[in-house]
Amino acid sequence: MTPRRVVAFGPGRANLIGEHTDYNEGLSLPFAIRQGVRVTAEATGGDELLVTAVDHGERARFRLSGGGERLGGWRDFVRGAIGELSAAGVELRGAEVTIEGTVPEGVGLSSSAALEVALCLALRAMAGAREPGDPAKLARLCSRIENEWVGTHSGLLDQLASLLGIEGHALRIDFRTLETRPVPLRLDGWRMVTVDSGEHRSLASSGYNERRAETERARRMLGLDSLREALPADAERLPEPLDRRVRHVLEENARVDAAVAALETDDLTAVGELLDASHASLRDLYETSTPAVERTVERLRAAGAAGARMMGGGFGGQVIALLPPGAPTAHGATEVAPADGAQLLEQR
Ligand code: GLA
């Protein structure tokens, strides 16, 4: 029996540490957040989706047979979901679809992955697909929507975090094997907050793709299958700025495991220091910071944060900070806490 109505939710994500490592087969420590995107689909028969993007006040029709040109914005995510699900053999059904979000777009909380994940869960469920399916496979499919249809050459960090989040835990993800390990976040009065730097960017048009291409070039020059195999001495053999890019990736991977170890011994002061070191590396070695991001980080530190760093693809977006007990919540800060991953909320 195929359902008449489904509601799916895909959360956004925060990333405690491990930035620009996912597409280099490295390590990250993200968590799903409570905010996300909800997709409601009601069967209509026929061979198209009539989609309303509530937050944009827009509506558009999409043929299930796919095709058509790049349209920009949320529409490409819908085209991509139709294209990729069809290519994966899912027999999509005509439906009226509503998209509503509680995660701001373009600020580094991964509204994109939240949308891809919620759309795919809803459309698959409408087609009668059995849940939960293989999350790594679904994460790859969602990532193809972003890479092939939207034009951002992002990795799997956001999709895996959105799909696999566990309340109260961060996820140590090894992007070489896609093995995930829940790491309890026992905050004991400490708080994690994110602050918008006020500078919003579309990942596709930012330097993100350029950074990805640089690390790919470094990998080829070193003759390695992935930068996961690189050694510090390899970085020194590379020309500027590739040497610094590779150093960031190697040191950031090490910081992820240092953060896991610190969390296991409840040493949140050490986690704060690692956030600061990650930020310095993203600023000086990976060069993805901006003046607005720097001001936001400084402001959080001045307000008593034990550590603060830019989060996500960079070139603007959000800063994440760790506040010790008693520290005031900085102006404009949103508390983020690890929540469960994507789910079907309704199916009937
Ligand atoms: C964005 C991408 C992710 C990841 C981060 C940087 O969020 O979507 O795949 O590369 O940037 O860590």
Render pLDDT for 9-21 as a digit per residue (tens, 0 to 9).
Answer: 999 999 999 999 9
CATH, residue 112: 3.30.230.10
Q: Which of 16, 153, 157 to mutate to test the pocket of ligand 1 (most atoms within 8 A of CB)?
A: 157
Closest to 159 (Cα-Cα) out of 177, 182, 135, 176: 135
Q: Are residues 81 and 162 in the same domain?
A: yes
Q: Are residues 48 and 156 in the same domain?
A: yes
Residue-level pLDDT at 297: 97
To the question of pTM greater than 0.85 for the whole model, the response is yes
Ligand 1 site, residue 252, Cβ cutoff 6 A: no
SS3 15: strand
- pLDDT-based confidence at residue 108 (cuts at 50, 70, 90): confident
Q: Is the pLDDT of residue 331 over 90?
A: no
Domain containing residue 214: 185-336
Query: Across the beta sheet with 191-196, what order do the strands follow?
Result: 307-310, 318-323, 191-196, 333-335
| Per-residue model confidence (pLDDT) at position 102 | 85
212 lines ligand 1 (CB under 6 A): no
Task: Assess whether the C-beta atom of 190 lies below 6 angstroms from ligand 1.
Answer: no
- Of 155, 147, 130, 199, nearest to 30 by C-alpha is 155
Count of the separate structural domains present in the chain: 2
Give the mean pLDDT of the chain. Answer: 94
Based on the domain organization, do 233 and 304 belong to the same domain? Answer: yes
Distance 297 CA to ligand 1 centre (A): 19
4 with 347: CB under 8 angstroms?
Answer: no
Same domain, 162 and 115: yes
Domain shared by 176 and 317, yes or no: no
Q: How confident is the model at residue 254 (pLDDT cuts 50, 70, 90)?
A: very high
Selected catalytic residue, list 22, 158, 196, 276: 158
Are residues 272 and 304 both part of a single domain? yes
> 154 in ligand 1 pocket by Cβ < 6 Å?
yes
Which one has a higher pLDDT value, 3 or 70?
Answer: 3
Higher pLDDT, 202 or 174: 174
- Based on the domain organization, do 134 and 152 belong to the same domain? yes
Please say if 158 is a catalytic residue: yes
Residue 273 half-sphere exposure toward CB, CA atoms < 13 A = 7
110 and 249 co-located in one domain: no
231 shares a domain with 178: no
Q: Do 31 and 118 have their domain in common? A: yes
Same structural domain for residues 273 and 174?
no
Whether residues 211 and 272 share a domain: the answer is: yes
Closest by CA position to 187, among listed 168, 162, 172, 167? 168
Please tell me what DSSP assigns to residue 265.
T
